[in-house]
Amino acid sequence: MRRRIWLVVAGILVGLTGSAAAATYNCVPAEIIENPNHFRVECAKPSDFEDGYPRDGANRIQFFAVPKADADFAERFVYVVQTALTTGLIVQFKYTSGDVSGSAFGCDSSDCRKPWAFGLLAPTTDVRIPYAAWPSGITESIAQGKWIHYGPFSISQFRKLVVNMTGTGNADLYVRKADPPTDTNFTCRPQLSTSNESCTIPGPDPNEKAATYYVGVKGVGTNNTYKLTVSIQNK
């Protein structure tokens, strides 16, 4: 008989019994990796202006992993992470600071933690989601020479990233894989003479499984406005 998997959204978490030393991290998943004894998710690299991956003592936590031996919990973990990868949502992990019990199934104590609860978060303004900035959907002004960055946005091999910009003056649209775009480093840059530009980025090939992208807008003219939309769609 087919088992039902419950989707967790907007701060409602599923998991094991937690402890008083709980810590929380909102993760933009970059990839889910299957190992012989566990499933592990890598969180996207934080932006330079943030304080890096979360600290747990002297360690920086980049991965979260669950053991395959707990089949039901592992199945929910995979489903939630894959949902986040294909919809651009964020996974909130709850874990215990200093807990290195995951090393028993291959979760490295130096950069990995075993979560006791997790759930999906929508990109809304009333939830603090570090490292994931979404455009407001309204018309914005941008001065000449100024940059505004958004992301990271995570997509799986089955999805595509669609970025559309309209406006006045001349603002340039940039998209870059893995890191915020610059004048010389980008994946997509239409470079038109108006603020009406778009980029469509297909998901990575199956060997890569997933990838993250950053979107940037740079003011070129002197009186620029732009309205930006970012969506993750089926290929």
Residue 225 lies in a domain: yes
Average pLDDT estimate for 38-45:
91
160 has which bridge partners? Answer: 202, 233
In this prediction, residue 176 carries a pLDDT of: 95
In this prediction, residue 14 carries a pLDDT of: 52
Q: Which of 93, 121, 149 is the last residue of a domain?
A: 121
- The residue that leads in pLDDT, 152 or 7, is 152
**The domain containing residue 209 runs over which residues?**
140-234
Q: Which of 13-27, 35-49, 58-72, 170-184 has the lowest mean pLDDT?
A: 13-27
Highest mean pLDDT, choosing among 16-20, 84-88, 177-181, 194-198: 194-198
Average pLDDT estimate for 190-194:
96
- At 124-159, the pLDDT tens digits run 544 444 456 788 889 999 999 999 999 888 888 888
CATH code, 28: 2.40.50
In this prediction, residue 17 carries a pLDDT of: 47
Residue 5 lies in a domain: no
* Gap between the Cα atoms of 50 and 8, Å rounded: 27
Both 182 and 215 in one domain: the answer is yes
60 has which bridge partners? Answer: 55
Say yes or no to pLDDT of 55 above 50.
Answer: yes
- Note whether 177 and 161 are within 8 A (CB): no
Closest CA to 206 of 172, 153, 159: 159
Highest mean pLDDT, choosing among 42-51, 130-139, 213-222: 213-222
* Gap between the Cα atoms of 31 and 14, Å rounded: 21
In this prediction, residue 135 carries a pLDDT of: 87
Q: Which of 62-76, 166-180, 207-221 has the lowest mean pLDDT?
A: 207-221
Both 68 and 109 in one domain: the answer is yes
Residue 1 lies in a domain: no
Both 104 and 31 in one domain: the answer is yes
Count of alpha carbons within 13 angstroms of residue 21, beta-carbon side: 6
Characterise 167 by phi-psi region: left (phi > 0), alpha (psi -120 to 50), beta (else). Answer: left
| Pure H helices in the chain | 71-87
Name the percent of the chain lying above pLDDT 90: 57
In this prediction, residue 132 carries a pLDDT of: 65
Q: Which of 69, 93, 121 is the last residue of a domain?
A: 121
Residue 31 lies in a domain: yes
Residue 9 lies in a domain: no
In this prediction, residue 9 carries a pLDDT of: 42
pTM, two decimals, is: 0.68
* Gap between the Cα atoms of 16 and 200, Å rounded: 40
Say yes or no to pLDDT of 11 above 60.
Answer: no
- Note whether 115 and 15 are within 8 A (CB): yes
Say yes or no to pLDDT of 192 above 80.
Answer: yes
Average pLDDT estimate for 201-229:
90
Residues with Cβ within 8 Å of residue 133, at least 6 apart in sequence: 149, 150, 151
Say yes or no to pLDDT of 56 above 70.
Answer: yes
Residue 4 lies in a domain: no
Looking at the structure of the chain, the number of domains it has is 2
Antiparallel, parallel or unpaired: β 210-219 and 147-156: antiparallel
